[in-house]
Structure 1
């Protein structure tokens, strides 16, 4: 929950705040976040590989999580409660180091979820529970922001303190309550061999392509939400309220997706969600500017689809990981490392493409409907994500429609 809380802040609220309120500009902030995410593309698989090969009496995951927490907390405090003015160099250093600490903490934790059960549906349940706490963290973030819409710095300060307390509590409970799973006893695969083994699996490649496309679309939506609401309603303080609605819809949809996937198969259900999400996004150009009811209905539709995106790809990945795991070497964390790297690479879209282009076009939130900048925002916020979801559907169209089976 605290991990999701922090990531929601970093993705949805911090970029716009640093760009506009702190005066760094959309282009500069976009470049800084792109650099940080590109660094993640390199470090995530390496950290995953190292975690898979770690041997200790505390297991292969917990030591990495503790190290991550030690760096995560002070860096989060520096980002959310900055002291003095913020220069591009200072902001870039804080963001880059924070992303590494985030990976050290989150990746081993997520890998544990892939290893906890040998049963496919139970892994879907585990993924759903994890997603529920992620939604709870993101929802709490949105509520805190919604309660202090006019003073974003206050929301950041409150969030930083609560995240710190919850994270320390969560790591303590994890260390005490989660058992240490049997560690591979054979000779570990080399980094090169492990990479070849993972990417040789067609199912993994197809799933990762679809996941990357979907995450890129989601990153565009969340990354541009604050700007879109500011433009559509002329009031940026409404952002928290609408984000809460998206996340509530996602939370309520989770058990429905879980039940439907058990009945009809994970892959088939996710394919339907990809198409449904694309159809929902195509409604944005016809939404009446300033109409709260219409945009609220859109948030409910999109939020419901995000519930499927949060659960099903991870559960499918767990099935593939189980098929590829041998007694000699586990691969869960490394597979997650590549998945996370692709997810973060998808973050480049809003920060590295949309923000700079909108900045060059002179987007300031006060543009008129019908202006070319208005349509540029709609394209990046909704139309491009819709196309990416359709492309993701095509990427997994040939995969088994019921369950992932060994190839």
Structure 2
């Protein structure tokens, strides 16, 4: 089965829906919990619990969406109609979540967050699966997911520039938190339908063998014995813990420890700009070192250097900005590498089952990261309440010190675990090429059998 390498302009259009989706990633963990805990009056423990419960709801929705995406194609293919269907769900739920009218109840936040996550799941699983099926080559998969990850990282600086512009031109000290959250919601509502339209009308879907009918036991057995799958999903869980804990605590650490509250959008902008710039470097390293070795290096980098934040002097934007830019060079590495590796794991599963279950596999990947993120947000907010942190008032130095220790300890442990899990990963480029050879021979044999029957 021969595939033409897609040109960069098509991959840019394919990846573009990840830009508004970025506003439902980092900004949700950075701005939304604090907004509802503070200005909306729900409190730290309640918001932490709501975000944990809503994310754990994905334990149900992610595998279901992966199954549906694999098995119910349309005349557009397997993926694009699901992406289009997610757009109105995301537009409505974004309006309700990001533009609330006070007062709100915990039930309001929980209900609309669940709807938001359903639409998010529909789009992200279908989008990642579509990308995995665009090319079977080991390194080309990294290139494709590099475009998608770069777009998703780029979406964060774009949103932050918008937030900063709103803060400088429209906000007052009393409205700054609400204006920040509102502007993110409008960004999603306006940009998502435009960029999805560009993607689905300009990027093809490949002809992929549709799954047959397997019993539950036949579906689960290969998953349970698939050691590479277990490693990647556990590593992605750890990445979710690390990223969400950093994002959830970032606003507080900048305001109370670094004394740089007014520079929050700028610091995030520097961090994610570095991530976009260095995505091609990560793709290149994955080609030279292999994807799993690049993941090990990324985990070691994050675990080794996160403690540098202890050395940021109070009120020094230059040191803080330089430190955030340095740490940001690795911002996109893990997501890019996991998603490319998961496409290779799908090859192994197809050899064992005869099924191409891309959607199911990517649902597992999103599920583990979301679960890690949910647990991290819940645990972080519970820890903050336990150590006596007050998000709306003054905090004594000893409480701020405890905040800093939590900020460093969780990602350090999580990223050390990632390096351990990905060390000695069994699928490298040589192994993947061997698997593709087996699959190509199988495709030719099946095509020959069909041709013989027709004659």
**Per the alignment, in what secondary structure is the counterpart of residue 59 of structure 1?**
coil
CA–CA distance in structure 2, aligned partners of residues 125 and 252 of structure 1: 14
Cα distance 1:82–1:186, how it changes in 2: closer, same or farther (>3 A)?
closer
Provide the residue aligned with 1:148 in structure 2: 166
Counterpart secondary structure, 2:332 = helix
1:68 corresponds to 2:68: no
Gaps of 5+ in 2: 1-18, 168-172, 436-455
2:355 corresponds to 1:355: no
Which of 388, 394, 397 does residue 414 from structure 2 map onto? 388
Helix, strand or coil at the partner of 2:424: coil
Deviates more, 1:394-403 or 1:220-229: 394-403
Q: Which residue of 2 aligns with 1:43?
A: 61
1:35-63 per-position Cα deviation (integer Å, ceiling 9, x unaligned):
10000122101110111111322222122
Query: 1:332 aligned to 2:358?
Result: yes
The one of 255, 262, 266 aligned to 2:287: 262
Of residues 30, 55, 71, the one that matches 1:12 is: 30
Q: Deviations over 1:11-31 (max 9, x none)?
A: 211111111121111111111
Instruction: Report deviation, 1:310.
Output: 2.9
1:300 is aligned, of 300, 321, 325, to: 325
CA distance in 2, matches of 1:8, 1:42: 23
Measure how far apart 1:400 and its partner are: 4.4
Distance 1:339 1:20, change over 3 A: same
Q: Distance in 1 between matches of 2:210 and 2:177?
A: 50
Give 2:232's aligned residue.
207
- Report the counterpart of residue 376 of structure 1 in structure 2: 402
Secondary structure, counterpart of 1:22 in structure 2: coil
Give the deviation of 1:181 after TM superposition: 2.6
Structure 1: segments with no counterpart, 5+ residues = none
How many equivalent residue pairs?
A: 405
Where 2:250 maps in the other structure, the secondary structure is helix
The equivalent residue for 2:10 is: none
How much does 1:202 deviate?
A: 1.1
C-alpha separation between the residues in 1 aligned to 2:73 and 2:428?
Answer: 36
Indicate conservation of the 8 Å contact 1:288/1:294, yes or no.
Answer: yes
Instruction: Find the residue that maps to 2:200 and give its secondary structure.
Output: helix
Verify the 8 A CA contact 1:211 1:343 in the aligned structure 2: yes
TM-score by length of 1: 0.93
Partner of 1:342: 368
Output the CA distance in 1 between the equivalents of 2:360 and 2:272. Answer: 29
Residue in 1 that maps onto 2:347: 322
User: Which stretch shows the higher mean deviation, 99-108 or 345-354?
Assistant: 345-354
SS of the aligned residue for 1:164 comes to helix
State the Cα distance separating 1:357 from its structure 2 match: 2.0
1:112 aligned partner: 130
Q: Equivalent residue of 1:306, what SS?
A: coil
Superposed, 1:29-178 pairs within 5 Å as 29-149=47-167, 150=173, 151-178=176-203
CA distance in 2, matches of 1:332, 1:379: 39
1:241-296 C-alpha deviation (Å, 9 max, x unpaired): 11111101111111111122212222112211111111111223343333323322
Larger Rg: 2
More moved, 190-199 vs 48-57: 190-199
Alpha-carbon distance, 1:367 to partner: 2.3
**Pairwise CA distance, 1:194:** 2.4
Q: Which runs of 4+ in 1 moved over 4 A?
A: none
- 1:367 aligned onto 2:383: no
- RMSD after superposition: 2.1
Distance 1:73 1:186 in 2: 32
- Native 8 Å contact 2:260 2:315 kept in 1: no
Cα deviation, residue 230, structure 1: 1.3
Contact 2:241 2:410 in 1 (8 A): no
- TM-score, normalised via structure 2 length: 0.84
